[in-house]
Amino acid sequence: MVDALAWRKKFAVMGPSTNTIVQPDFDDLRPAGVTNHYSRIYTPNAKAVSNDSFMKGARLIGDNTIDAVNSVMTCEPHYLVMGMSAVTFFDGVKGADAFRDRVSEASGGLGVSIGSHACTAALKAYGGVKRIAFFSPYYPTANAEVSRYFSESGFEVVRDKPLLCPSWISIAEVTTQTCRDTIRELDGDDVDAIIQVGTNLSMIRFAAAAEQWLGKPVIAINTATYWHALRANGIHDRIQGFGRLLEEF
């Protein structure tokens, strides 16, 4: 028997309970025959966030992920998609691999798309990208982990910017103007591509627009992660309106 709506795939999506962006973003990117089943990772809304508290909070999200996996497995999904990004960059490529493998093991061996590896795959899909810049809603200590991950993946990080959001909820309140100003600050002839990380920051539409006026890849992590999940499952629909990644690759 086949699920009436998920006649292609059922995706289980794990995201922090404070995250209000990734669920509607993933639904906007969803092609016919694929359904998203969101499982919330319990996350207190940390306030007055600092370098230390951000890292502690992000690692708590990572620790609580398995409970969310166990909960969503009762709908018998075909594949897992991580709707959170910070912890997927921690401790370099080996750390990302270990996190992915731990989530997969908890599911009984399902495949998993995580933000860090998805961004790397997206950069390689575009081709010719060597030097990158990125921004996040994080703090400098977390950006250092993101930079380490990309460096270990073979890219030169030319510039980065942490937006220093004061709480988990406030990440979803970052405006398009802030994103636009930040991209302009990061861009230059020495940068081949710009990446936005942080799944609670709304960028899937603006990144597509920014690609047009910058003439280079601008990758929103939610777009990259969902693209990665689709392609990993043999779904190659060309989805319009969200940038070259979903339209061409």
Residue 48: the pLDDT is 52
pLDDT above 60 (res 4):
yes
Long-range contacts of 2-9 (CB under 8 A, 24+ apart): 3/35, 5/33, 5/35, 6/33, 6/34, 6/35, 6/78, 7/33, 8/32, 8/33, 8/34, 8/233, 8/235, 9/33, 9/34, 9/35, 9/78, 9/79, 9/233, 9/235
From-to residues of CATH 3.40.50.12500 in the chain: 9-117+223-248, 125-220
pLDDT of residue 169 exceeding 70, the answer is: yes
Q: Please identify, in words, the CATH class of the domain defined by 125-220.
A: alpha beta
Distance CA 66, CA 46 (A): 20
Distance between CA 128 and CA 111 in Å, rounded?
28
Determine the pLDDT at residue 146.
97
Please compute the mean of the pLDDT values over residues 85-93 and round it to a whole number: 95
What per-residue confidence (pLDDT) applies to 45? 80
Q: Is the CATH number of domain 9-117+223-248 3.30.450.20?
A: no
Q: For a pLDDT cut of 90, what percent of the chain falls above it?
A: 90
Is residue 3 pLDDT above 70, yes or no? yes
pLDDT per position as a tens digit, 35-81: 999 999 998 887 656 677 777 767 777 788 999 999 999 999 999 99
pLDDT tens across 114-158, in order? Answer: 999 999 999 999 999 999 999 999 999 999 999 999 999 999 999
- Judge whether residue 20 has pLDDT over 90: yes
